[in-house]
Structure 1
Amino acid sequence: MSINTYPLCHVQTEEPWRSLLWIKELNKCGINLPMFIVHDLGHLLLYSKDSLKIKPPEFFQNKINTSAYIDVLNFICSNRIIRDVVNRTLSHSIIGAIIAKLVKGISFPELQKSKQNQLNLMKLEHDLKTKSQSQIWKSMDPSLRAMPDKYLSSEILAKIPINLQNLHEEEISFLIIFGPQIWGHGDISQIMDIFSFMDLPWSGQHILSQMLRLIPIVQTSANRKGGQVYPMGGYEGISNKGEIDNLIPSEFCYDKDMLTHRILNNESLYYSRESMPKKEKELALIITQTSLDMKGDADILARGLTLALWHQLKQRGFDVYQCFIGQTFTHPIALNSIKDISKIVYYKDPEYQHPESMLTKIIETIKQYGENYPQRHLYWLLSEHWDADLHDRHFQHYDQINQNTSSNQAWFIQTWNTSRKAPKVCKYFSEYQIITNEILSKADIMSHIPTVEENQEFVSRMQKQEQPVDSFENTLGMSFVLIPAGVFMMGSPEDEPERFDREVLHEVSLTQPYYMQTTQVTQSQWEKVMRNNPSHFKEEGSNCPVERVSWEDAQEFIKQLNTLEGTEKYRLPTEAEWEHACRAGTGSAYVWGDEPDCSRANYGNGYSKECKDTNPGRTTQVESYPPNSWGLYDMHGNVWEWCQDWFGDYPTRSVKDPTGPEEGASRVLRGGSWVSVAGLCRSACRGRGRPADRDDFTGFRLVCSPGQQE
């Protein structure tokens, strides 16, 4: 930590000493950050924007420009997730962890570490409670005073908003509400482990947002001692074998009122009377089926119940291991930390089940554990079709498993269109239960899934695709890069120079990632599809963007390209997708900052001459200017770009996945061009044109959705 940076703080607060608490938490994880960064970000997480003042230190006296940093701080304040965070009561470790997330991947200048630094820290702790920011600055040795430009480069300022966009509301809420309690303590190392799974690809985050809800429901039962207390007269008439009510998750078998009653009475997810803890170690082996026989809803349920079982058994003191079966048997892994979740979420077996070899492997495994674990318990999560055809031939395998285990329990997962009749193989398990994917929409804990149709659509996407790659190139050599989903502020603040009234600032949520072409469609790419070149600037080379194409022409190009590749994946971006990709996590007027820069984009040498000394007054070859941080070229200038939307007024409230008005007279154009003044090239600036309009400063680029990149 560089404590001499403290006077650079831009967030004015009456409790500056709090930053020392967050610094100590970060140091536990070996994270060493400039003190003013920790101070400013931490207080933005702790207090609402209305209760804070964000401004440069007084001793700057307008000699040092940090407006870009102030814009980043204001952008953070305006983020919906951050606004939600400040309404919570956060521990120092959680604030430290969120700060670490916001600066992830940023390399700050090397910070000094020394005994003298520790002594200075003790002095600073005293000074923070007795002196003002300016007084601390004046008392410092001038040779030790830090300057902001060293720590606030454009690369650093661009990265923080990107990291903010990668924070997810569901995971943050889970972290704040359940993180410290679930794992027994609030140590920042454990909290950073929770954050580690937030970096998983989008589909993994979607799974976790559903599955982790199973865990907190049962967290209190492990703290109980002795026999289980059953309210409401117990459960008479339930045998140790059956179809619905015998084993976990029995909560799923009751209506909402009964479910609430059971949760409030701290009932165990595991349906059996809890005995006194035993001194010897006990093994719990969770066996999860994943193969072509376990798809869609069934696969989601199996992995979710695996997570719930893991937590419940861990809280009871078991040594928990987990393996997958299908055609391949995975060696059991010990589940010790929340970061092991990724091992459960993402493993796939792309083949059909092979029960005989799987049973043989399981027998070998439990025998190997015999010396260390006198008590061995098996928990199977299986499809309704597990060993359906040849189970009678395998009875000796099941007998050996039962002989070598203390308990052998199974859950059979059925889909909507099947009956709840017990599979014949269930007779080989000491206890079993049948559950259906109906709980994905009926159970209270899954109520955030809006409809069965939406769930089935998600499952279908999961079945059809692997995790999206970062980039790909199609048959014509068009390069695409993955743009992350996220929440951003679309439009411009009222004080942005050259702003138009039609740029009303509002929050937009894009719930799915998408691929965007890294460049504007070139003349060469157009010719390969359309067999002509309508461009005015042909002599500059085929790698210049195609222009003199209308919105209707772009649609015809897309239609023919889709036909050539035998797909329907290509389309124009929505206006929201375009601005999200252009900004790449920034909140400034341009992706590089708030001031125009002729060296960064091809503009200003047509209607205006502001860049006549640097830019050619025509289109330039794509990739001639620096890309934004997401790898996209010419998002400012060169040629205007058609979007899919009709042009219309912005909403004044938060919206999700907007697609513009249903009808209109003009289509949206974005990005400005070589003829444009700087203000028309801003990230928020909106242009428009009639669908049939053509000119020598308008082109387009394409997008497509993940899962369609091949």
Structure 2
Amino acid sequence: MPVTAAHAKDPVVAGPLGGLALSAVRAASPMMVVRAIRWYRDLARLGLHLPFFMVHDFGLLYAAPKEQLEIGPRPGLDAIVARMPRAADLLTTYRGVLAEISQSEASSRARSMRLNDDLVVVVLARVLGSIVQRANVKPPYSASLPLDPEMVRDIDGQLPQLFASGPRNFELSALDALARSRLHVLTLADALDLDTLRLLGMLGPESSAAGALAHVDLLAAISSPAANDIVNFSLELLPSVLETRRAKATGTHAVHGYAGIGNKGSLDSLVLTELAWDEQEFARRMIENEILYYTREQAPDEARRLHYLLIDASASMRGDRQVFARGLSIALGKRLQLAGEEVWMRFFDSRLYDVQRSRPGQLPAAYILGFKGERGRNPARVFAQLATELALLRARDQRDPVVHLITHAALHVPRQLVQEVRRQAHLFGVFILPSGGELDLEYLDLLEGHAVVDHATLSEKNARAAAATKIVKDAADLSEKVPASLGPKPTRTNDDAIPPSFRVGRASIPPTR
């Protein structure tokens, strides 16, 4: 039997599984029920304790292909609810809501995206969160149902017994809350920002947090009114960014075929023409490491640089400047990551916020979309803290830090603080001008390079995308050419010393047709 006698008496198991008798959606694969258990547990960790059957049904509408779903009452439901007042009417309303959502465009598009479990949890929290607030009955059991596939296999025959094992006031209260908030739930379901889900799915939904904290960032991203503009801008940039490929290297490991010629290798890969040298010349070439060997393809070495994206989140970066800065940071971070570099991201206003470290194949996109900074503006304090942390970082890490600063054009920082940061890291800047503003900062000559984006560029969709694409390309190319060590840097006296290819303005953007 799928559920043992001991489990049938345990309210933690019998409570949620017995509620499946009220379910109106069934999947062809029993493993979908196991996924639903994870959604159920993760929602509870967010403080949203919903009946398991409701999480199961709504989750399948967004996660499973439509051809694998069957919508309708389970066999024997009439006998189960005959003794429960109002249950039949509430379940009729419930099935009507499920039918409307299953036929909606949002549900159809979400199914085609093959959302992972974290994104499904966020969708359910967004759509069903109001039901928890409207229900007036607390759950009689904890949401700690075991993730056991055998427990839910062929469980239909046991549902009447499990359903009758305890009171069902919790389930009926949730159904009543859904009936009272029917239009609200349908509106939330139709208003889901699927572009945000698409972007999060492309970049990896979360890379720096785990558990409930990851879901909080995801929920903040999908609920933020300003996130949609950032998402649309990021989706404009990503097609060109995703063309980046990590370059291969050559090595001596005996796998695959020969890929080139180098000065290191084993005797069996020696270039045979080297044996034509006389004994003295051959010995000299060997001592001076001039002997040629065939080399083989291997993975590139670990990144020698650590890219530090520093994003301004102060009040001066609202509106179009915020959209540009955050969309640019997502695109640049992805470009650097595809090139094999490690990327850290960090917001600042009057202080530096926590570092968000990316993982291979993932960026903290949800954190970038949903972050809100409301602590004023203090550039001197930020750069003083940054210089201290970079000094500590270089003491324990051999990689060269490369700081990409994305900020407003009025970021006035004492020159000596910028010099201190420059001693610890390579520094590039992207400055966004206000309407009618000019770039006039005393530390520009200390930067490795900088780009300027004017207000007119931000106002035109095509020009804005062209400017961001150019910045991403030039910043990535320049950072690859930085010297291996940070020594004394010659002082530039004017802006002409900065590479022209790294300046971005309306004059450098090709005209649009």
TM-score where L is the length of structure 1: 0.43
Three-state SS of the structure 2 residue aligned to 1:403 is helix
Q: Does residue 347 in structure 1 map to residue 377 in structure 2?
A: no
CA displacement at 1:371 relative to structure 2: 1.4
Q: Which residue of 2 aligns with 1:195?
A: 218
Q: Which has the higher helix share?
A: 2
Q: Which amino acid aligns with 2:423?
A: Q
Tell me: CA distance 1:67–1:434, structure 2 relative to 1, closer, same or farther (3 Å).
Answer: same
Q: Which residue of 1 aligns with 2:346?
A: 322
Check whether the contact 2:435–2:454 (CA below 8 A) recurs between aligned residues. Answer: yes
Tell me: CA distance 1:145–1:319, structure 2 relative to 1, closer, same or farther (3 Å).
Answer: same
Tell me: CA distance 1:59–1:402, structure 2 relative to 1, closer, same or farther (3 Å).
Answer: closer
Q: Which residue of 1 aligns with 2:39?
A: 26
User: RCO (CA 8 Å, sep 6+): is it higher in 1 or 2?
Assistant: 2
Q: Which residue of 2 aligns with 1:77?
A: 102
Name the CA distance, whole Å, in 1 between partners of 2:224 and 2:199.
Answer: 23
CA displacement at 1:429 relative to structure 2: 0.8
Q: Which residue of 2 aligns with 1:125?
A: 153
Q: Which residue of 2 aligns with 1:404?
A: 424
Tell me: CA distance 1:97–1:436, structure 2 relative to 1, closer, same or farther (3 Å).
Answer: same
TM-score where L is the length of structure 2: 0.57
Check whether the contact 1:222–1:312 (CA below 8 A) recurs between aligned residues. Answer: yes
Tell me: CA distance 1:89–1:23, structure 2 relative to 1, closer, same or farther (3 Å).
Answer: closer
After the TM superposition, which of the residue ranges 22-31 and 50-59 deviates more from structure 2? 50-59
Q: Which residue of 2 aligns with 1:287?
A: 310
Question: Alpha-carbon deviations, 1:497-556, whole Å to 9, x = none?
Answer: xxxxxxxxxxxxxxxxxxxxxxxxxxxxxxxxxxxxxxxxxxxxxxxxxxxxxxxxxxxx
Q: Which amino acid aligns with 2:21?
A: P
Pairing 1:366-405 to 2, within 5 Å after superposition: 366-374=390-398, 375-387=400-412, 395-405=415-425
Q: Does residue 67 in structure 1 map to residue 78 in structure 2?
A: no
Tell me: CA distance 1:74–1:14, structure 2 relative to 1, closer, same or farther (3 Å).
Answer: closer
Question: Alpha-carbon deviations, 1:657-700, whole Å to 9, x = none?
Answer: xxxxxxxxxxxxxxxxxxxxxxxxxxxxxxxxxxxxxxxxxxxx
CA displacement at 1:409 relative to structure 2: 0.7
CA displacement at 1:137 relative to structure 2: 4.8
Tell me: CA distance 1:446–1:428, structure 2 relative to 1, closer, same or farther (3 Å).
Answer: closer
Tell me: CA distance 1:279–1:40, structure 2 relative to 1, closer, same or farther (3 Å).
Answer: closer
CA displacement at 1:416 relative to structure 2: 5.9
Name the CA distance, whole Å, in 2 between partners of 1:293 and 1:145.
Answer: 57
Tell me: CA distance 1:402–1:18, structure 2 relative to 1, closer, same or farther (3 Å).
Answer: closer
CA displacement at 1:434 relative to structure 2: 2.1
Q: Does residue 165 in structure 1 map to residue 187 in structure 2?
A: yes
Q: Which residue of 2 aligns with 1:414?
A: 433
Name the CA distance, whole Å, in 2 between partners of 1:146 and 1:219.
Answer: 56
Question: Alpha-carbon deviations, 1:57-84, whole Å to 9, x = none?
Answer: 5541694332332333234335442243
Three-state SS of the structure 1 residue aligned to 2:308 is strand
Check whether the contact 1:9–1:36 (CA below 8 A) recurs between aligned residues. Answer: yes
Question: Alpha-carbon deviations, 1:384-417, whole Å to 9, x = none?
Answer: 3444xxx8xx554444332222x11111223565
Q: Which amino acid aligns with 1:333?
A: D
Tell me: CA distance 1:86–1:356, structure 2 relative to 1, closer, same or farther (3 Å).
Answer: closer
Root-mean-square deviation (CA, aligned residues, Å) is 4.7
Three-state SS of the structure 2 residue aligned to 1:433 is strand
Of the candidates 25, 41, 57, which is equivalent to residue 40 of structure 1?
57
Name the CA distance, whole Å, in 2 between partners of 1:311 and 1:190.
Answer: 22
Q: Does residue 175 in structure 1 map to residue 197 in structure 2?
A: yes
Name the CA distance, whole Å, in 2 between partners of 1:332 and 1:114.
Answer: 34
Tell me: CA distance 1:55–1:446, structure 2 relative to 1, closer, same or farther (3 Å).
Answer: farther
Q: Which amino acid aligns with 2:107?
A: I
Q: Which residue of 2 aligns with 1:492?
A: none
Q: Does residue 331 in structure 1 map to residue 352 in structure 2?
A: yes
Q: Which residue of 1 aligns with 2:326?
A: 303
Name the CA distance, whole Å, in 2 between partners of 1:73 and 1:206.
Answer: 26
CA displacement at 1:290 relative to structure 2: 5.2
Q: Which amino acid aligns with 2:140?
A: E
Q: Which residue of 2 aligns with 1:648?
A: none
Check whether the contact 1:22–1:38 (CA below 8 A) recurs between aligned residues. Answer: no
Name the CA distance, whole Å, in 1 between partners of 2:162 and 2:388.
Answer: 70
Name the CA distance, whole Å, in 1 between partners of 2:381 and 2:434.
Answer: 26
Pairing 1:358-369 to 2, within 5 Å after superposition: 359-369=383-393
Name the CA distance, whole Å, in 1 between partners of 2:119 and 2:448.
Answer: 43
Q: Which residue of 1 aligns with 2:128?
A: 103
Check whether the contact 1:288–1:323 (CA below 8 A) recurs between aligned residues. Answer: yes
Check whether the contact 2:206–2:214 (CA below 8 A) recurs between aligned residues. Answer: no
Question: Alpha-carbon deviations, 1:276-312, whole Å to 9, x = none?
Answer: 54366x5433333455765543343233333444455
Pairing 1:101-250 to 2, within 5 Å after superposition: 101-104=126-129, 106=132, 109-111=139-141, 122=150, 124-127=152-155, 136-137=158-159, 140=161, 143-144=164-165, 150=172, 152-158=174-180, 162=184, 165-166=187-188, 171-176=193-198, 178-179=200-201, 181-182=203-204, 192=215, 195-198=218-221, 200-202=223-225, 204-210=226-232, 212-213=234-235, 216-217=238-239, 220=242, 224-226=246-248
Number of equivalent positions: 374
Check whether the contact 1:171–1:198 (CA below 8 A) recurs between aligned residues. Answer: no
Q: Does residue 442 in structure 1 map to residue 455 in structure 2?
A: no
Q: Which amino acid aligns with 1:436?
A: D
Check whether the contact 1:409–1:432 (CA below 8 A) recurs between aligned residues. Answer: yes
Check whether the contact 1:101–1:163 (CA below 8 A) recurs between aligned residues. Answer: no
Q: Which amino acid aligns with 2:58?
A: L
Tell me: CA distance 1:169–1:444, structure 2 relative to 1, closer, same or farther (3 Å).
Answer: farther
Q: Which amino acid aligns with 2:397?
A: Y
Gaps of 5+ in 2: 1-12, 83-87, 250-298, 358-363, 467-513
Check whether the contact 1:293–1:383 (CA below 8 A) recurs between aligned residues. Answer: yes
Tell me: CA distance 1:348–1:223, structure 2 relative to 1, closer, same or farther (3 Å).
Answer: farther
Check whether the contact 2:429–2:450 (CA below 8 A) recurs between aligned residues. Answer: yes
Q: Which residue of 2 aligns with 1:15?
A: 28
Tell me: CA distance 1:297–1:423, structure 2 relative to 1, closer, same or farther (3 Å).
Answer: farther
Question: Alpha-carbon deviations, 1:203-231, whole Å to 9, x = none?
Answer: x334543454367447646761358xxxx
Gaps of 5+ in 1: 129-134, 228-274, 448-710
Q: Which amino acid aligns with 1:10?
A: A
Tell me: CA distance 1:84–1:410, structure 2 relative to 1, closer, same or farther (3 Å).
Answer: same
CA displacement at 1:433 relative to structure 2: 1.8
Name the CA distance, whole Å, in 1 between partners of 2:421 and 2:329.
Answer: 20
Q: Does residue 3 in structure 1 map to residue 31 in structure 2?
A: no
Same amino acid, percent of matched pairs: 11
Tell me: CA distance 1:397–1:193, structure 2 relative to 1, closer, same or farther (3 Å).
Answer: closer
Pairing 1:555-704 to 2, within 5 Å after superposition: none
